[in-house]
Structure formats: structure tokens, C-alpha cells
Amino acid sequence: MIIAVDGPSGSGKSSTARGVATRLGLRYLDTGAMYRAVTWAVLDSGIDLGDATAVAEIARNLDLTIATDPSAPTFAANGTDVTLLIREPRISENVSKIATNLDVRADLVRRQQDLIAAAQPGGGIVVEGRDIATVVAPEAELKVLLTADPEARMARRQAELAEGAVTAAELRDQIVRRDADDSTVAQFQVASDGAVEIDSTFMTLEQVVEAICQLAKEAADAVPQDQES
């Protein structure tokens, strides 16, 4: 089974998708972290983020190693473990410049599809991001659009960061501006065909995980027996 979880920044996609993958015994892929890893590599190289051609070249040549175990989802870029480095504020401030590069998106979508295909023999994968249901895995058996109001999203993102890491204004800019930027290249504000929208504003993480797991069970039960075989 492929479970696609899309949604805006701070809606709880990562925690939810990991929880669902753990509960169902599936692999887990955070596609947003892939864009962050490319951002780290570009910043590390010292090139201008506005040089779209040079940025795309770095993305194409990047040795990106991804562990899809939900208990330890790690990322390495050119041999450097960047799992924690890609969560730094400087990455959050610049990742939209990378994510809106269409050549970078094309390369990472190809990589994401390869990872999804590799997970299929093991039972499946939960993939979260911006355009999973529409571009990366439109064949997903379950598609979820996970939303929450802006205040809830900012509070959740703030809880993930070290105290004083960013100001309230910087945090709002990272979330609201990034959503606006990313919406120019990915449709994640409105549920795609066949997707179930879940507003998590007043739900706990456990409630959201449970809701998606129930939807996954219903989706699996709906698969014809001959297709399963």
C-alpha cells in the first residue's frame, strides 16, 4: 500500500506519517527533507541560490542516502549525515528557493518514485509532502490532505524548535511565505481527486494517526481479491 499525506507547513505531516508507518509496519518517506538536503548542499557549496541552473546541477549530482525506517529516518548528503542539520533555521529560510526550482523538483520526484517502488515488496510506504497524491504517487491507495489553521501550525512548529531559535515573525514568515511560494509549483491547498481532507487543528497526534490507519484499513479492504494476488 502507498499512503500519500500532503499538506501545508506545520500541519503535522511528518509526525503523523511516521506514526501511521510505525503502526502499520510500513516504510516512511519525508519528501520535504529531501528538498532540505538539497538546500543544505547548495548552501554548503556557496553558490547563489538564485542561479537555477547551478542549483539544479548540484541536485542532480547529489549523493543522497535516505533511510525509510520510521523509527530512524536519516538523511546523508555526499557522505555527511544531515538529519539534524537540515532542521536549522537557515535551511527553513531558504528551502522554498530550492523547492520552486522545477528542474530540482523533477529530479527529486524521480528519486521519490524510485524509493516508493523499492518499498513495495516490503508491504508499502507512507509518503508525505506537497504533491504526493497529484504528482509523485497518484496511484496511491490512500490520499490524505492534512490541514490545520495557521495559528495551530505555527504553535506546532515552534514546539519543534529550540527555545529562542526563531522569533514569532520569522516563524510566521517561514510557514506562511513558504506555503505561498510552494503553492506556485505544487497544489496542496485543496484536496485532490479521491483524497480525504483531515483538519487536525483540534485533534491530537494520536487521533490523527488513528483516523488515517482506519482509512488505510478501509482502503485495503476495498482492494479486489484478484488485484491483491
Q: What is the pLDDT of residues 150-171, one digit of tens each?
A: 888 888 877 766 555 667 777 7
Chain segment 112-155, per-residue pLDDT in tens:
999 999 998 888 999 999 999 999 999 999 999 999 998 888 88
11 annotated as a binding-site residue: yes
For 202, list phi and psi in degrees, rounded to 5: -115, 25
CATH number 3.40.50.300 is the correct assignment for the domain at 2-35+99-214: yes
What integer pLDDT is reported at residue 112 of this predicted model?
Answer: 98
At 195, list the grid cell.
483524497
The SS3 of residue 125 is strand
What is the predicted pLDDT for the residue at 222? 81
Q: Summarize pLDDT for 60-69 with one digit per residue, the tens.
A: 999 999 999 9
14 is annotated as contributing to ligand binding: yes
**Beta-bridge partner residues of 128:** 5, 30
192/203: higher pLDDT = 203
- Which of 70, 41, 52, 174 has the alpha carbon at shortest distance from 106? 52
- The letter for the amino acid at 203 is M
Is 164 labelled as part of a ligand binding site? no
- Domain parsing of the chain, residue ranges: 2-35+99-214
124 assigned binding-site residue: no
Q: Are 93 and 167 in contact (CB under 8 A)?
A: no
* 13 is known to lie in a ligand binding site: yes
Residue 228 confidence (pLDDT): 52
In terms of pTM, does the model score above 0.85?
yes
